[in-house]
Amino acid sequence: MSEDPIEVAPDPALEGEVVDGLPVLAEVRALEPAPPSGLLAVQTAAAAVTGFVAGAATLVVVRRRRTRKLARRQRALPRRAAEMLPVIGSRSFLVDVHLLGKPGE
């Protein structure tokens, strides 16, 4: 069984456009520097205010937690025990601990 090859005509829709690869330049003009705007000052002021507000909020949260913690401690300590055992004196010691190994270990 012998088959002859079928010839197919090229489809004009599948052919691509030939491009020479050269850029098309627009008219040449000088670039002018942008006029100074107040936008930079506004952004700087907004960043400074945001930082200040965040710092103030953090300070308020830390103080409130500290106050609540102290109030909780005072409620936990019975008043009678504190009155019955007055503190006469206080001493603090600095302890330095060294662990020594045997030679050869």
Residue-wise DSSP of the chain:
---PPPP-PPPTTTPPPP---PPPP----PPPPPPP-THHHHHHHHHHHHHHHHHHHHHHHHHHHHHHHHHHHHHHS-HHHHHHS-----------------TT-
pLDDT digits (tens, 9 = 90+) for 33-60: 877 777 888 888 999 999 999 999 999 9
Tell me what pLDDT residue 24 has.
72
Q: What is the pTM of this model?
A: 0.36
- Tens of pLDDT, residues 69-96: 888 777 766 556 556 777 778 888 888 8
